[in-house]
């Protein structure tokens, strides 16, 4: 299928052929019939893409500070590589879609195949959208009108924050599509509306909707006009729907308001506020968040957890429904805002027109009826066919895959035969960039393919156990990015599946640090020690918001299980001895509401070695992320962020420096692919993989209980845990 993308590095807007998406839990698969181009948001993205690097940096000073911090921590070249990779990542455009449901994911109620729906899906022939971000279209609302629903909901949410009452005067600054719709909704609410803009055509349209207007192009002063139209009392509220870098709209809004007036920013403006303007009048100011309550809440949008109507009357979905009802009753006119109709195949031409300054308002992209076999194809041929090439596939095309795994394989002159992601989008883009033969959204077909010997799994953590079991049962070697599993039942299922095929097939977890030249050098010298070692590992982990998926214990396992396992494995690798005890303490009463990303973990090994892992997320980004110290036999070894390792009291040990960070990814994949070809023992014995997973889970429980955890107990627990009977979740792949 075809989808519209924007390249933020070059500014190019283009159509790309990608695999058709597969609906996951609580999602709808929709065949697009039309979609609306948002002239404000989408023009802003295109204009950003066309700027040079310096202009982009100036427009995002906070990102520049993050880049400077990363340079101090990781070095110049790795930072530049990361920046250019991010800019080169294609951005999907569009969020106002109309189409017909062709497939309903599990857990969805209220929708059926054949339903006409709106969604916030992108400009694409097929879209997958969460059910809570969709709404059914009434029979008497046509597709053209319905396409305005999501955009109109942005204005409606701004109005809900203003809380206008019958007879109040509200000033709307900026009469683009959202501004004109907002003006109409305010009029329908019984308000007197004043609108300001530079475009005479939009002013004329606002007057047709019953608004007073202020022509900024003629030099009219909006503050004076507002005072004149309110007998010098000032307006009751202001909605700013303009898009500008200027501070003028906010300043003017404050000066035209009455005492205790309300100001809501719906658009984008400068925010250099004058305190006196707000202080003297006790004005309230707020910024509206998109379509309404539920936006950016993964529990609402992805997990489908609706807010009780008695407590949250207007969610984003219910705002969609309210707009559709207004369209159905004729109380909202959007037909007059349609300025262009463009066949979807010509979509890129729209964006040239947007940035040219041409007079456009509502641009509709119209999707022709395509051959279903082409549109619905879940697997695409993307790269050249390599006779005798590598026989492995990748499930998951998220950040790790695109920015770490695939570049490492490219440096080895190796590449997968096929790559899969649930949405199909990122798999298709990764396949094009790295010359991979096929891209797909059909994970099950990849798992069962007879053309593959190895499956690499880099999806979200909650899917690792099911996908690993399925791949092993399909007779494949498996590489799974950490963690192996996020709970005991998942780990038990993997152990059982592996025990049935371990002589034939290998299982590897992405503990790449073992393969870094820094840790290999340390292991070589410390392995001949005469007594136990003492290890101190400080991880400047960096803050991750509480609503990011890795913090969700049911999805990411939390940061101890999801990432801390890396550092536990380092202890296991360097000691060469099983862990026997775990004790973990976390910062109490964290202000950010996260209880286990500022934690110290104390480990004891069977040979008497001890290690402390300080995993702290409250440090500064310019400080190195990982520093390791080992004390043994009167010697000290220090490794700084996988760039420099030096020793004291170890004769003959030369300081090791690498040109840039080397965390062992490339060496890990080189050895893995060679071992699969030549045979031999697993790179990491399964007993150690399981042990590290158990230690991670024990550390997490120690945080909760405050007790020391004994690994003998955890080995017994995994033998006793009842196996879950849940079906494999193929649709949970990262995309």
Q: What is the pLDDT of residue 472?
A: 95
For the segment 143-191, what is each residue's pLDDT rounded down to a tens digit? 999 999 999 999 999 999 999 999 999 999 999 999 999 999 999 999 9
- 571 vs 23, 25, 519, 561, 629, CA distance in Å? 41, 38, 11, 15, 11
Find, among 653, 511, 632, the residue nearest to 573 by Cα: 511
Return the exposure string of 53-90: e unless at least 16 CB atoms fall within 10 Å of the residue's CB, then b.
Answer: eeebeeeeeeeeeebebbbebbbeebbeeebeeeeebb
> Could you tell me what percent of the chain has a pLDDT over 70?
89
Rounded (5°) CA angle 297-285-165: 90
Q: What is the pLDDT of residue 11?
A: 78
- 334 vs 158, 215, 244, 434, CA distance in Å? 18, 22, 24, 44
- 542 vs 471, 539, 617, CA distance in Å? 33, 9, 4
- 307 vs 144, 292, 311, 318, CA distance in Å? 30, 12, 7, 11
User: Kind of pairing, strands 644-648 and 598-605?
Assistant: unpaired
- Mapped onto helix, strand or coil, the DSSP state of residue 336 is helix
What domains does the chain contain, in order, with CATH numbers? Answer: 2-148+304-372 (3.90.180.10), 151-287 (3.40.50.720), 379-511 (3.40.50.720), 512-720 (3.30.360.10)
Per the CB < 8 A criterion, the answer to whether 478 and 468 are in contact is yes
For the segment 487-524, what is each residue's pLDDT rounded down to a tens digit? 999 999 999 999 988 667 889 999 999 999 999 999 99
Q: What is the pLDDT of residue 81?
A: 63
Q: What is the pLDDT of residue 727?
A: 42
Q: What is the pLDDT of residue 47?
A: 67
For the segment 24-44, what is each residue's pLDDT rounded down to a tens digit? 899 999 999 999 998 877 777
Find, among 517, 514, 525, the residue nearest to 632 by Cα: 525
- In degrees and rounded to multiples of 5, residue 244 shows phi and psi of -160, 155
Q: What is the pLDDT of residue 594?
A: 67
Cα distance between the two ends of the chain: 17
**Residue 309 buriedness (CB in 10 A; 0-12 / 13-18 / 19+):** exposed
Residues of the chain with pLDDT under 70: 47-88, 357-358, 370-376, 383, 385-389, 502-503, 589-595, 722-735
- In degrees and rounded to multiples of 5, residue 251 shows phi and psi of -65, -45
Find, among 180, 8, 17, the residue nearest to 93 by Cα: 8
Which tokens hold the place of 383?
A: 């790269």
Q: What is the pLDDT of residue 589?
A: 62
């Amino acid at each position: 299928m075809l989808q519209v993308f924007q390249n933020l590095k070059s500014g190019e807007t283009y159509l790309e052929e990608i695999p058709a998406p597969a609906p996951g839990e609580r999602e709808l698969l929709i065949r697009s019939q039309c979609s609306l181009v948002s002239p404000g948001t989408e023009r802003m993205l295109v204009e950003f893409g066309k700027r040079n690097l310096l202009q982009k940096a100036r427009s995002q000073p906070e990102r520049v500070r993050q880049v400077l911090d990363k340079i101090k921590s990781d070095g110049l070249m790795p930072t530049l590589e990361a920046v250019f990779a991010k800019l080169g990542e294609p951005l999907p455009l569009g969020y106002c879609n109309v189409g017909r449901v062709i497939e309903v994911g599990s857990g969805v109620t209220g929708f059926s195949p054949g339903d006409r729906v709106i969604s916030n899906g992108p400009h694409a022939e097929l879209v997958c959208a969460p059910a809570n971000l969709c709404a059914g279209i009434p029979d008497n609302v046509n597709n053209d009108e319905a396409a305005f629903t999501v955009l109109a909901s942005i204005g409606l949410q701004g109005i809900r924050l203003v809380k206008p009452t019958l007879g109040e005067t509200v000033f709307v600054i900026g009469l683009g599509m959202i501004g004109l719709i907002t003006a109409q909704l305010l009029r329908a609410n019984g308000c007197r509306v004043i609108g300001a803009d530079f475009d005479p055509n939009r002013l004329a349209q606002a007057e047709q909707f019953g608004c007073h207007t202020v022509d900024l192009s003629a030099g009219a002063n909006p503050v004076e006009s507002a005072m004149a139209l309110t007998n010098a009392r000032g307006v009751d509220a202001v909605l700013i729907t303009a898009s500008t870098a200027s501070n003028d709209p906010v300043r003017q809004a404050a000066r035209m308001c009455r005492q205790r007036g309300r100001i809501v920013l719906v658009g984008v403006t400068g925010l250099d506020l004058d305190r006196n303007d707000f202080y003297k009048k006790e004005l309230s100011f707020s910024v509206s968040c998109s379509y309404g309550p539920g936006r950016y809440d993964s529990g609402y949008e992805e997990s489908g957890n609706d807010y009780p109507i008695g407590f949250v009357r207007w969610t984003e979905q219910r705002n969609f429904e309210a707009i559709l009802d207004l369209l159905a009753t004729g109380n909202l006119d959007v037909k007059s805002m349609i300025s262009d109709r463009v066949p979807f195949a010509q979509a890129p031409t729209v964006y040239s027109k947007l940035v040219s300054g041409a007079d456009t308002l509502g641009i509709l992209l119209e999707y022709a009826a395509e051959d279903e076999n082409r549109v619905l194809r879940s697997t695409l041929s993307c790269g050249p066919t390599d006779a005798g090439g590598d026989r492995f596939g990748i499930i998951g095309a998220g950040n790790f895959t695109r920015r770490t795994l695939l570049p490492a394989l490219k440096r080895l002159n190796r590449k997968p035969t096929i790559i899969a992601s649930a949405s199909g989008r990122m798999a298709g883009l990764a396949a094009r960039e790295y010359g991979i033969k096929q891209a797909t959204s059909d994970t099950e077909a990849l798992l069962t393919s007879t053309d593959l010997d190895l499956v690499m799994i880099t999806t979200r953590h909650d899917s690792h156990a099911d996908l690993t079991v399925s791949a092993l049962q399909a007779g494949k070697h498996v590489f799974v990015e950490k963690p192996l599993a996020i709970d005991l039942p998942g780990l038990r299922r993997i152990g059982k599946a592996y025990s049935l095929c371990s002589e034939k097939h290998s299982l590897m977890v992405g503990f790449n640090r073992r393969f870094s030249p820094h840790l290999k050098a340390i292991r070589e010298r410390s392995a001949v020690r005469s007594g136990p070692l003492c290890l101190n590992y400080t991880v400047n982990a960096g803050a991750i918001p509480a609503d990011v998926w890795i913090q969700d214990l049911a999805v990411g396992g939390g940061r101890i299980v999801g990432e801390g396992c890396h550092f536990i494995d380092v202890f296991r690798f360097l000691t060469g001895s099983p862990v026997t005890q775990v004790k973990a303490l976390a910062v109490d009463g964290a202000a950010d509401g996260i209880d286990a990303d500022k934690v110290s973990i104390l480990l004891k090994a069977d040979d008497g070695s001890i290690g402390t892992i300080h995993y702290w997320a409250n440090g500064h980004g310019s400080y190195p992320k990982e520093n390791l110290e080992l004390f043994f036999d009167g010697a000290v070894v220090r490794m700084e962020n996988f760039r420099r390792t030096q020793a004291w009291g170890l004769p003959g040990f030369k300081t090791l420096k690498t040109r840039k960070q080397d965390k062992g990814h490339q060496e890990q994949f080189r050895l893995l692919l060679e071992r699969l070809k030549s045979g031999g023992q697993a790179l990491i014995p399964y007993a150690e993989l399981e042990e590290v997973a158990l230690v991670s889970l024990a550390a997490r429980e120690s945080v909760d209980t405050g007790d020391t955890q004994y690994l003998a107990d955890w080995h017994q627990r995994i033998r006793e845990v009842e196996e879950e009977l849940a079906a494999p979740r193929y649709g949970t792949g990262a995309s």
